[in-house]
């Protein structure tokens, strides 16, 4: 399967380390360790370390590198990029006890996941009022008409689509809030083409990622061509070493994944 027209989305549980996986602390680079150490809450630190260490394990499998040799740099607008492998695109998001790592080729990518049960300390207004203030009218109406938990779900559904677009472009969230990302469910198997707004380059193709378990997620690629999404769950090196070897990006065959 070619990574040019597919996105691999990896579910990474953050509540423990699978048997056989190395100590996640040892996989981080100095910058990641400093960021982890600045997190005052032990639970937040554990989640950060687990998400970034497992991302290194997975990306090392794609790139044919030991995890400690996976090197990040800062690209356009400060967006993280894989140093020395500009053709491979990856993006990470985490919320509560779940992280998502999205990987593709050639096109810039963004992914976002939000947990419905997570309390955001920065959110001082209910979802309906936030949507009225920041979302385009059709999206705000959809959020406002929903009742109970459905209201928060729709708010986060639109939020994750916008955030995925922002992360694909390397912009700031405030630039992405006006982006129109549809006012309802996306047809199964199809992506939504979204245009850019002032100060926020587009276009993008956005897809919802079905996760369940109280999580809402979306992925976006720059451009207008559609793509497939393949969701996989990280169960540890031991599991994949036995029966599901990771695909590797071939440096010599354009777009190939073996």
Q: Return the bridge partners of 207, or none.
A: 219
- Per-residue confidence (pLDDT) for residue 200, from 0 to 100: 82
Assigned token pair, 242 = 């036995």
Asked, for residue 255, whether it belongs to a domain, the answer is no
Asked, for residue 253, whether it belongs to a domain, the answer is no
Asked, for residue 204, whether it belongs to a domain, the answer is yes
Asked, for residue 141, whether it belongs to a domain, the answer is yes
Task: Give me the torsion for CA of 230, 236, 239, 245, rounded to 10°.
Answer: 50
Asked, for residue 248, whether it belongs to a domain, the answer is no
Q: How confident is the model at residue 121 (pLDDT cuts 50, 70, 90)?
A: very low
H/E stretch holding 241 reads helix 237-243
- Per-residue confidence (pLDDT) for residue 247, from 0 to 100: 56
> What Å distances lie between residue 189 and 68, 207, 226, CA to CA?
36, 9, 10
* Phi, psi for residue 91 in degrees, rounded to 5: -150, 145
Asked, for residue 109, whether it belongs to a domain, the answer is yes
Asked, for residue 219, whether it belongs to a domain, the answer is yes
Asked, for residue 191, whether it belongs to a domain, the answer is yes
| pLDDT (average), residues 161-174 | 92
pLDDT (tens digit per residue) in 85-117:
989 999 999 999 999 999 999 899 999 999 998
Q: Which domain holds residue 80?
A: 3-243
- Per-residue confidence (pLDDT) for residue 95, from 0 to 100: 94
Number of domains in the chain: 1
- Per-residue confidence (pLDDT) for residue 40, from 0 to 100: 87
Separation of alpha carbons 170 and 234, rounded Å: 26
- Per-residue confidence (pLDDT) for residue 187, from 0 to 100: 82
Which CATH number is 24's domain given?
3.90.470.20
Q: How confident is the model at residue 118 (pLDDT cuts 50, 70, 90)?
A: low
pLDDT (tens digit per residue) in 122-151:
444 588 899 999 999 999 999 999 998 999
Q: How confident is the model at residue 203 (pLDDT cuts 50, 70, 90)?
A: very high
pLDDT (tens digit per residue) in 244-258:
445 555 443 323 222
């Amino acid at each position: 399967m070619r990574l040019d027209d597919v996105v691999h989305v990896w579910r990474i549980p953050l509540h423990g380390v699978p048997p056989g996986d190395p100590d996640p602390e040892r996989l981080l680079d100095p910058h990641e360790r400093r960021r982890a150490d600045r997190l005052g809450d032990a639970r937040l630190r554990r989640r950060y370390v687990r998400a970034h260490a497992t991302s290194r394990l997975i990306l090392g499998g794609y790139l044919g590198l030991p995890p400690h040799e996976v090197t990040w740099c800062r690209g356009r607008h400060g967006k993280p990029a894989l140093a020395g492998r500009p053709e491979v695109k990856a993006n990470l998001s985490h919320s509560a006890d779940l992280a998502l790592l999205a990987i593709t080729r050639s096109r810039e990518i963004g992914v976002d996941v939000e947990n419905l049960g997570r309390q955001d300390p920065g959110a001082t207004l209910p979802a309906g009022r936030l949507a009225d203030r920041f979302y385009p009218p059709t999206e705000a109406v959809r959020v406002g008409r929903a009742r109970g938990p459905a209201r928060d779900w729709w708010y986060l559904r639109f939020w994750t689509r916008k955030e995925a677009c922002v992360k694909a472009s390397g912009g700031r969230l405030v630039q992405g809030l006006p982006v129109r990302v549809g006012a309802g469910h996306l047809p199964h198997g199809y992506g939504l083409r979204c245009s850019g707004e002032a100060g926020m380059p587009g276009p993008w193709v956005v897809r919802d990622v079905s996760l369940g378990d109280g999580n809402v997620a979306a992925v976006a690629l720059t451009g207008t061509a559609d793509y497939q999404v393949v969701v996989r769950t990280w169960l540890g090196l031991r599991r994949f070493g036995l029966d599901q070897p990771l695909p590797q990006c071939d440096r010599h065959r354009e777009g190939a994944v073996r």
